[in-house]
Amino acid sequence: QQQVKQSPQSLIVQKGGISIINCAYENTAFDYFPWYQQFPGKGPALLIAIRPDVSEKKEGRFTISFNKSAKQFSLHIMDSQPGDSATYFCAALDNNAGNMLTFGGGTRLMVKP
Amino acid sequence: KAGVTQTPRYLIKTRGQQVTLSCSPISGHRSVSWYQQTPGQGLQFLFEYFSETQRNKGNFPGRFSGRQFSNSRSEMNVSTLELGDSALYLCASTREQGAYGYTFGSGTRLTVV
């Protein structure tokens, strides 16, 4: 079964700090890697996404770093704020195998004021 | 711009019953996908519909089914409910085929007792 492994399961960061969440995948056919943010009672919301031909993508305080050879990618949240406290999911898509995302297990982030 | 609307938000059913959940995608979006979210299994793909045709199906038993109407609205049905079907059911829509740029609804919280 295709898998995306996400770590850590939970993370506590001080306000202003950097939050780092890591994901690893096995299927080299994956060609799209999005990150989603989910608040309680809401559905996941797309934060930022990357394709494997790019090693880094930055949008505001959010950066994806992608290491194709290691089959790993990570989300960095700079200047973390209490409002960033949420659950974050990485995901991956193999477009040739069907239009479905394979999600990581999620990371519950708490940013302390 | 209205988002993805899922109804009902909450549902309590008895084991053995059946249930129908509804999803109205964003106007202009023709692809609708369904995911099941549980604490133990995380986010798992159920199926995807595009232009009234099921394009992909996840690894769920035949008790889980769905359909899409000509206006792109989608329904999913679960028959002979089991306690393990208790979950948050999420619908996501996108303009074209594929999981790029999914917009998720807030989900339907199903509790089976």
Dump pLDDT digits (tens) for A76-113: 999 999 999 999 999 999 877 767 899 999 999 999 99
Considering only CB atoms, A100 lies closest to which of B48, B104, B105, namely B48
Minimal CA separation from B72 to chain A, in Å: 17
Chain B positions in Cβ-Cβ contact with residue A44 (cut-off 8 Å): 43, 90, 104
Residues contacting A109, CB < 8 A, separation 6+: A10, A11, A12, A13, A19, A21, A77, A80, A84, A85, A86, A87, A88
| Among chain A residues, CA nearest to B10 | A41
Question: Is B45 in Cβ contact with A100 (below 8 Å)?
Answer: yes
Helix (H, G, I), strand (E, B), or coil: what is residue A83?
helix
| B35-51 burial code (b ≥16 CB/10 A, e <16) | bbbeeeebbbbbbbbbe
Nearest by Cα to A36 from B24, B37, B51? B37
User: What digits encode the pLDDT tens for the residues B15-55?
Assistant: 999 999 999 999 999 999 999 999 988 999 999 999 999 98
User: What digits encode the pLDDT tens for the residues B57-88?
Assistant: 999 999 999 999 999 999 999 999 999 999 99
Chain pair A-B, CB pairs under 8 angstroms: 62
Ramachandran sector of residue A95 (left: φ over 0; alpha: ψ -120 to 50; beta: rest): alpha
